Amino acid sequence: MVSVREERLTDLHNRYARDLLGFLSGFTAGNRFTAEDLLQETMIRAWRHIDVLPAEPEHTRRWLFTVARNVAIDAIRRKHARPSEVGLGDILEPGPDDTSATVMAVDSLRHAIGNLSTPHRRVLAELYVQGRSPDEAARRLGVPIGTIKSRAHYALRSVRSSVDSRQ
């Protein structure tokens, strides 16, 4: 036997899922899988608050799109909270079967890292060479966590830009 709550959620999904998926695709650069994950999270939140959802269709639609927007923004913030990790140790030490392109890439990376300021290089070393969390790096370097995140962001941006310009 299907409960009233289940019927309501099924109805919400049938009515709004397609439009919500299109809306969420805009936050994911068209990545359908990520947009579907965000839609699922939106529906989970709707299920949790099904008793307080507005009864009028237009108010329900606004509520769902607001929740979807917040879910998408939260996902973007989580993704940018810590820069993606790069194993510098593996990149900096070429193996015996490296091609000339790999050697040139390593040279570009060494040049890019060498052009960083000492504080930026230290942050990258703490995060990516030593494998420390931003909190641990902040404690070890004696700077606020926000400074660690900022330096990591700008250092990685500089390294990417430098490597791209040398290729």
- Tokens encoding 121: 């290089």
> Using only C-alpha atoms, what is the Rg of the chain?
23
Q: How many domains does the chain have?
A: 2
CATH number at residue 145: 1.10.10.10
Contact status, residue 107 vs residue 146, Cβ threshold 8 Å? no
pTM: 0.49
Residue where one domain finishes, among candidates 57, 81, 105: 81
Are 92 and 161 within one domain? Answer: yes
CATH number at residue 75: 1.10.1740
pLDDT of residue 63: 94
Are 77 and 146 within one domain? Answer: no
Are 59 and 106 within one domain? Answer: no
Are 41 and 57 within one domain? Answer: yes
Residue spans of the chain under pLDDT 50? 91
The runs of H, that is alpha helices, within the chain are: 4-25, 32-48, 57-81, 88-92, 100-114, 118-124, 134-141, 145-166
| 76: helix, strand or coil | helix
pLDDT of residue 146: 92
Residue where one domain finishes, among candidates 26, 55, 81: 81
pLDDT of residue 132: 86
- Helix/strand/coil (H/E/C) assignment for every residue in 135-161: HHHHHHHCCCHHHHHHHHHHHHHHHHH
Residue 12 and residue 61: Cα distance in Å, rounded? Answer: 9
Phi, psi (deg, nearest 5) at residue 142: 70, 35
Are 105 and 69 within one domain? Answer: no
Task: Evaluate the CA torsion angle 72, 78, 80, 84 in order and state its sign.
Answer: negative
pLDDT of residue 143: 93
Residue 38 and residue 19: Cα distance in Å, rounded? Answer: 13
- Tokens encoding 135: 């909190």
Segments forming the whole domain that contains residue 51: 4-81
Are 37 and 72 within one domain? Answer: yes
Are 98 and 123 within one domain? Answer: yes
Are 62 and 101 within one domain? Answer: no
Are 92 and 77 within one domain? Answer: no
